Amino acid sequence: MLQVADGLLVEKGFAGVTMEGIAARAGVAKQTIYRWWKSKSDVLMDAFLQDAAEDLTAPDSGDIARDLRDYLRRLAWFLSESDPGAVFKALIAQAQHDPVFAQDFRSRYLDGQRRRDRLPLERAVDRGQLPADLDLAAETDQLVGPLYYRVLVTDEPISHEFTDGLVDAFLRRHKPTTRTES
């Protein structure tokens, strides 16, 4: 059902997705959909959460430069090129008009995504590769914020060169060590 909802959103846009359409495409009764979800926003959020959990796991090679490059490239692809990225944009748009949904989206996705975005930096701090007093929130914003900005505001492409440039700027600012904690 979640894949059906994802597919309909990509095909028809948020306004074109209905509970009836999801039920028809899935070959189930509409009541079956309503048994599990209150609204199309709820169905789409669950579909998106499943996709995010599968696609946005932060790598942990022990090399902060490699992990950041890999993660930012993966996040950029997810947000700008994948079907779940289209769902993300629709959910963000819905959150602008529905405060209850916005709070739910924040608590069910955005807060967890924030932790995933920060995880490579936390691991590097724990390994002694980055200073213990690193402002994780600010550095995370500087690394991933430009990706969200391009996806949600300017619609500019996000190349590997762009994401690698963000990582290079971070590495120049902080000059991580190669020391690791055992």
CATH assignment at residue 14: 1.10.357.10
Cα 131 to the center of its chain, rounded Å: 26
Residue 133 located in a structural domain: yes
- What is the number of domains present in the chain? 1
Residue 150 located in a structural domain: yes
Kindly list the distances between the CA atom of residue 19 and the CA atoms of 83, 85, 142, in Å, as whole numbers in the listed order: 19, 21, 39
Residue 22 located in a structural domain: yes
pTM of the shown model: 0.82
Residue 44 located in a structural domain: yes
Query: Which residues form the domain of 51?
Result: 2-174
Residue 143 located in a structural domain: yes
Instruction: Please give the mean pLDDT across all residues of the chain.
Output: 89
Residue 179 located in a structural domain: no
Residue 101 located in a structural domain: yes
- Tens-place pLDDT, residues 78-122: 999 988 888 888 889 889 999 998 999 999 888 888 999 999 999
Residue 42 located in a structural domain: yes
